Amino acid sequence: MKKLIIINGPNLNLLGKREPNIYGSLSFTEFLDTIIEKYPNVSIEHFQSNIEGELINKVQEVGFSYDGIILNAAAYTHTSVGIGDCVKAIETPVVEVHISNTFGREEFRHQSYISANAKGVILGFGLQSYELAIQSFL
C-alpha cells in the first residue's frame, strides 16, 4: 500500500469559507473524506499548519519514509527558501499543488521556491489538483 501525505500550508484550514470564488465551497475535510474513500488501497494522511517551521518539521519527518508528499505550501510557496531547501534535502518525491492557477493571479505568486526540486507541479484544477497528484504516485 502506497503511503502518501498531503501537507497544506497557511489559510488552507479555511477552505469552504475563504474566497469561495477562488477556492470553492467545500472544506478540505469534506474533500479528504471523498478522496480516502475513492482510493482505499492508498494510505492518505493529512497535515495542515499556518506556521512555516511546522511545515518544514513535517516534511523532514516524513521525507525519508513515505512514498510521496503532496505539498500545498500556499503563500509560503512564494516566500520560503526554507521550505524549498527542505524539499531539496529529502528523499521522498514531492508534488507541488495549488488549487488556483497561480500564474493567473498577482505577479508575486508566479515565483515558487519549491518547484525546482519537486517531482512535478499541478495547479489551477481546484481541489482536483490533489487527486491528480495522488494519481501521479500510482
Q: What mean pLDDT value characterizes the chain?
A: 93
To the query of whether residue 76 is one of the catalytic residues in this protein, the response is no
Calculate Rg over the CA atoms of the chain. Answer: 14
Of 23, 66, 76, 113, the active-site residue reads 23
- % residues pLDDT > 70 (the chain): 98
- 87 CB-near residues (< 8 Å, 6+ apart): 59, 71, 94, 114, 117, 118
Of 66, 98, 113, 130, the active-site residue reads 98
Residue 105 is predicted with a pLDDT of 75
| Cα distance between residue 36 and residue 32, in whole Å | 6
Residue 15 is predicted with a pLDDT of 87
Q: 3-state class of 9 per DSSP?
A: coil
Residue 19 is predicted with a pLDDT of 77
The burial of 69, by beta-carbon neighbours within 10 Å (0-12 exposed, 13-18 middle, 19 or more buried), is given as buried
Tens digits of residue pLDDT in 85-133 = 999 999 999 999 999 888 677 687 778 999 999 999 999 999 999 999 9
To the query of whether residue 66 is one of the catalytic residues in this protein, the response is no
Residue 110 is predicted with a pLDDT of 77
Average pLDDT on 4-23 reads 88
Residue 38 is predicted with a pLDDT of 97
